[in-house]
Structures are given as structure tokens and as C-alpha cells.
């Protein structure tokens, strides 16, 4: 993408420069504006290369999407799937930009009537004719503008998505909007906090203390902890924590999703 | 006791049924390896604060959590461990107005002024 876009963007100015003689190309004083021209050709003489190139590109694009999307879904290759979605999104962006060309004339008329409503009909017609003569240049500006805007909107949406998911993940890891934690076990003391919590009881709804994991407590002399099935064949390493009954009330409920719970009490009660 | 679905799936644990927890000692002179029988009261797909998942995660991620009451936890440290000697590492606080920055600042400032840093 980083190579193709600069390449394509430099081809048109180079072509424009080469289409004129050297003197005309270097003359900065004269306007290079060309009136709108319509070329009528015989069917046999019309240049087919542009159509062929666009057709081939569309064919390859469709083939990639049609073949790789089911392949990525079947093989659960999420990296390829995301790349294809990005590819589809880029195609959608280009397609919408091209579609916007069809509304260009309509929008020119609407905006001319909206912003020059006090002018005479002749003046508005003059402006519209003027816009007609600038159409090729306006088309290029509209294309660049719509693609740039599309990419900016895409970046804003994806960055906000990443920020939201990161925020949710961080919030779930802490589990509460306000959490005091220490890097070492036994550094949070109820005796020290009780006075503070009591003093600010008017703003506190609930609070609960959590122990460090069992294997990190020196006096426990525990190397590791595992959960086993009855046969003691299947096991999974776990971290064991002790919690006060009020911890679940002091945590964010939205992140609690039960698979099975037969009790009516809060989870840590 | 509460645990995550991944742990329950691996160990075939069910609510109100007995589950086995094995504790491995890091010093045979001070403690022996032990098996504990615990009864899960709930199984969660996801939980705040603690890592409880319902599917296998990427390698290198931290371990799944099991949570239990403080007396049970202290009993696993040692049968003679007093509740007064419980180790604490985190404190979750729910404010009446969780998004009120003034209340958050008030509480944090109180901690800074009242607590002594080691």
C-alpha cells in the first residue's frame, strides 16, 4: 500500500507533464486550465487498455475475496481474515469515492442554489458553467478529498475501537473503578485502611479486601497449586485467592458472567 | 469457593460437587504436599478482578483463578493460621458516585496523608 499509492499518485502528474512540450510545461505564468472536452471515437479505435486494466484488477480483487474469505474462516486463520476485511474495507472506500463522482453535478447545483440564492438565475448559471469547465480538476480534488476523509474516518473508528477494548480489559483486570493494590503481599493492612474508610463512609458504598495468591505467601511454603479431577489424571495450574464477602459487591457487576450458580447470595458471600 | 469454566471443564468439577485442589510444597521439611476437597458454589465464564475464562488462552498468559473465603484460604496456608495474620494485597472500593473525580481525589489524598510509606 505504501509503495502503490505514491506510485499511482506520481503517474498522473508525470503523464500530464509529458503530454505537453517542454516550454509549456515549465511556463508557470500561463494558466494550465483546459476546457472540458468530449472526445467521440469509433468503437474500433477506442482505447481498451484502461478498461482491461480495471477489469483485471477487479477480477483479481474479487477472486482474492471469494477464495481467501472461506479459506480463512475454515482454517480459523484470524490474521488472514482481518487482512481480508481490511482489503474489503479499502475496496469499499474506493467504491464509495467513485460513487461520489455521480453526485458531483447534483451537489454543484444544490450548493450553488443554496449559497447563491440571492443572485440572479443568470449569475447562478454562469457559476455552474464555470464549474463545468473545471470539472476534470474538481473531480481529482474530490477524489483525493474523499479518499483522505475515508481513511481519516477509518483511523478514528479503529483507534477508538482499540482504546475502548483496552479500557474494558484494564477495567476487568482491576475489577473495580477504584482499587488499592500493592506489589508485595501483606502491604495492604486493614488496620491502616479502616480509619480512612470510616472517615469517608459518606462517599463509600462498599469495600472488600483481597489476599495475594497462595503461592506468593512466603510463610505458606507453597510452590504451586493445581486443580485436579477425581482420577488425578487431568490437572490445571491455578492461583488461589481469599476474598472478603463484600468483594463482589465492591466490584463491577457487568464483568461477572456465571456458567452455573445455584445460590441466591452474591458470589463471594 | 468459585472457579472459572476452563478449570471446571478440565477437572470435571460441578456446582455443589467436590473438587480437588493439590498444593505442592516448596520445602518438604516445613510442609507436605496436600490434597484439599472443596465444594464449588458457582462456576463463572468471566469475573471481575480474577482471571476466570471459559476457553484456553494463548500460551504465556497468567493462570486461572480460584477464589474462596478467608477462613478456607488461611486453612490452606496452615491449619493454625489466625485470621488476624491474614495477608492482604488488594482493596476494592465502590464509591456511591464512581465517576465523581472529587470523591476519588478525596479518598486518595486521605490515603497519602494517613498512610506511611515503607
Residues of chain A with pLDDT under 50: none
Q: Do A242 and B103 touch (CB under 8 A)?
A: no
- The minimum CA-CA distance between A166 and chain B, rounded to whole Å, is 15
When CB atoms are compared, the residue of B10, B26, B114 closest to A196 is: B114
Q: B42 vs A13, which has greater pLDDT?
A: B42
Among residues A73, A84, A111, A208, the alpha carbon closest in space to that of B92 is found at A208
Give percent of chain A above pLDDT 90. 26
Q: Which of A174, A200, A227 is the last residue of a domain?
A: A174
Q: Considering only CB atoms, which chain A residues are within 8 Å of B103?
A: 203
Q: Do B49 and A188 touch (CB under 8 A)?
A: no
Query: Which residue matches cell numbers 442554489?
Result: A113
Query: Quick check: is A124 in a domain?
Result: yes
Q: Do A219 and B54 touch (CB under 8 A)?
A: no
| pLDDT per residue as tens digits for the range A196-211 | 999 999 999 999 999 9
Both A66 and A166 in one domain: the answer is yes
CA-derived radius of gyration, chain B: 19
Number of domains in chain A: 2
Q: What are the DSSP calls for chain A, one per residue?
A: -TTHHHHHHHHHHHHHHHTS-HHHHH--SS------------TTTS--HHHHHHHHHHHHHHHHHHHHHHHHHHTT-HHHHHHHHHHHHHHHHHHHHHHHHHTHHHHHHHHHHHHTTTS-HHHHHHHHHHHHHTHHHHHHHHHHHHHHHHHHHHHHHHHHHHHHHHHHHHHHHH-SSEEEE-SSTT-S-HHHHHHHHHHTTTTEEEEEEEPPPGGG-GGGTEEEEEEE-TTS--EEEEEEEEE-TTHHHHS-GGG-EEEEE--SS-TT-
Surface of A (177-206) touching B: CB under 8 A? 177-182, 184-190, 192-193, 195-197, 199-200, 203-206
| pLDDT per residue as tens digits for the range A7-36 | 777 777 777 777 777 777 777 666 665 566
Query: Quick check: is A41 in a domain?
Result: no
| pLDDT per residue as tens digits for the range A166-192 | 999 899 888 898 999 888 777 788 888
What pTM was estimated for this model as a whole? 0.68
Query: Quick check: is A87 in a domain?
Result: yes
Beta bridge partners of A171: none
Range of A68's domain?
A: 51-174
Q: C-alpha grid cell for residue B66?
A: 480460584
Both A71 and A155 in one domain: the answer is yes
Both A157 and A60 in one domain: the answer is yes
Q: What are the DSSP calls for A192-242, one per residue?
A: HHHHHHHHTTTTEEEEEEEPPPGGG-GGGTEEEEEEE-TTS--EEEEEEEE
- The minimum CA-CA distance between A85 and chain B, rounded to whole Å, is 23
Both A103 and A211 in one domain: the answer is no
Size of interface A-B (CB pairs under 8 A): 284
Q: Look at residue A147 in the predicted model and tell me its pLDDT.
A: 81
Give the number of C-alpha atoms closer than 13 A to the C-alpha of residue A2, restricted to the C-beta side. Answer: 0
| pLDDT per residue as tens digits for the range B57-92 | 765 567 899 999 999 999 999 888 888 888 899 999
Q: Which of A174, A198, A225 is the last residue of a domain?
A: A174
Query: Quick check: is A26 in a domain?
Result: no
Both A166 and A75 in one domain: the answer is yes
d(CA A101, CA B42): 60
When CB atoms are compared, the residue of B21, B48, B111 closest to A172 is: B48
Q: Look at residue B50 in the predicted model and tell me its pLDDT.
A: 92
Query: Quick check: is A97 in a domain?
Result: yes
Q: Do B110 and A179 touch (CB under 8 A)?
A: no
Q: Look at residue B117 in the predicted model and tell me its pLDDT.
A: 62
* Contact assessment for residue B19 and residue B38, using Cβ atoms and an 8 Å cutoff: yes
Domain residue extents for chain B: 2-89
Q: Look at residue A43 in the predicted model and tell me its pLDDT.
A: 73
- B14 three-state secondary structure: coil
* Contact assessment for residue B17 and residue B23, using Cβ atoms and an 8 Å cutoff: no
Q: Cβ of A32: how many Cβ atoms within 10 Å?
A: 11
Name which of B90, B99, B118 to mutate to probe chain A: the one with the most chain A Cβ atoms within 10 A of its Cβ.
Answer: B90
| Global ipTM | 0.92
DSSP at B47: -
When the pLDDT of each residue in chain B is averaged and rounded to a whole number, the result is 89
Q: Which helix (H) or strand (E) holds B41?
A: none
Q: Look at residue A183 in the predicted model and tell me its pLDDT.
A: 82
d(CA A123, CA A117): 10
d(CA A187, CA A174): 17
Distance of CA A108 to the CA centre of its chain: 32
Residues with Cβ < 8 Å from A64, sequence gap 6 or more?
A84, A87
Both A162 and A220 in one domain: the answer is no
Name which of B50, B84, B92 to mutate to probe chain A: the one with the most chain A Cβ atoms within 10 A of its Cβ.
Answer: B92
Query: Quick check: is A27 in a domain?
Result: no
Residues with Cβ < 8 Å from B90, sequence gap 6 or more?
A179, A180, A181, A182, A188, A209, A210, B49
Both A106 and A220 in one domain: the answer is no
Query: Quick check: is A23 in a domain?
Result: no
Helices A78-102 and A104-115: angle between axes, nearest 10 degrees: 60
Among residues B32, B2, B33, the alpha carbon closest in space to that of B19 is found at B2
Amino acid at each position: 500500500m505504501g509503495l502503490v499509492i505514491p506510485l499511482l499518485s506520481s503517474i498522473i502528474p508525470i503523464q500530464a507533464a509529458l503530454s505537453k512540450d517542454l516550454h509549456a510545461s515549465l511556463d508557470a505564468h500561463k494558466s494550465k486550465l483546459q476546457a472540458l472536452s468530449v472526445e467521440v471515437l469509433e468503437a474500433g479505435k477506442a482505447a481498451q487498455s484502461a478498461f482491461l486494466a480495471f477489469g483485471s484488477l477487479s477480477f483479481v480483487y474479487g477472486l482474492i475475496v471469494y477464495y481467501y474469505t472461506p479459506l480463512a474462516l475454515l482454517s480459523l486463520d484470524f490474521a488472514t481474515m482481518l487482512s481480508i476485511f481490511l482489503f474489503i474495507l479499502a475496496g469499499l472506500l474506493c467504491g464509495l469515492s467513485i460513487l461520489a463522482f455521480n453526485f458531483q453535478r447534483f451537489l454543484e447545483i444544490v450548493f450553488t442554489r443554496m449559497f447563491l440564492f440571492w443572485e440572479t438565475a443568470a449569475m447562478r448559471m454562469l457559476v455552474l458553467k464555470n464549474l463545468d469547465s473545471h470539472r476534470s480538476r474538481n473531480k481529482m480534488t474530490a477524489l483525493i478529498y474523499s479518499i483522505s476523509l475515508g481513511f481519516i474516518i477509518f483511523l478514528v473508528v479503529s483507534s477508538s475501537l482499540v482504546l475502548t477494548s483496552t479500557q474494558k480489559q484494564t477495567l476487568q483486570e482491576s475489577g473495580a473503578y477504584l482499587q488499592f493494590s500493592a506489589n508485595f503481599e501483606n502491604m495492604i493492612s486493614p488496620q491502616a485502611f479502616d480509619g480512612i474508610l470510616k472517615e469517608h463512609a459518606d462517599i463509600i458504598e462498599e469495600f472488600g479486601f483481597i489476599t495475594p495468591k497462595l503461592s506468593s505467601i512466603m510463610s505458606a511454603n507453597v510452590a504451586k497449586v493445581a486443580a485436579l479431577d477425581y482420577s488425578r489424571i487431568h490437572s490445571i495450574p491455578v492461583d488461589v485467592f481469599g476474598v472478603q464477602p463484600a468483594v463482589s459487591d465492591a466490584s463491577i457487576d457487568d464483568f461477572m458472567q456465571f456458567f452455573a450458580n445455584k445460590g441466591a447470595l452474591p458470589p463471594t458471600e | 469457593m468459585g472457579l472459572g469454566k476452563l478449570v471446571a471443564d478440565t477437572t470435571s468439577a460441578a456446582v455443589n460437587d467436590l473438587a480437588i485442589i493439590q498444593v505442592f510444597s516448596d520445602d518438604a521439611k516445613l510442609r507436605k504436599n496436600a490434597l484439599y476437597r472443596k465444594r464449588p458454589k458457582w462456576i463463572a465464564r468471566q469475573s471481575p478482578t480474577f482471571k476466570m475464562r471459559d476457553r484456553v488462552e494463548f500460551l504465556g498468559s497468567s493462570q486461572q483463578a480460584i477464589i474462596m473465603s478467608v477462613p478456607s484460604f488461611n486453612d490452606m496456608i496452615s491449619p493454625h493460621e489466625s485470621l488476624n495474620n491474614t495477608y492482604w494485597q488488594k482493596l476494592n472500593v465502590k464509591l456511591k458516585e464512581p465517576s465523581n473525580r472529587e470523591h476519588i481525589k478525596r479518598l486518595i489524598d486521605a490515603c497519602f496523608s494517613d498512610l506511611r510509606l515503607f
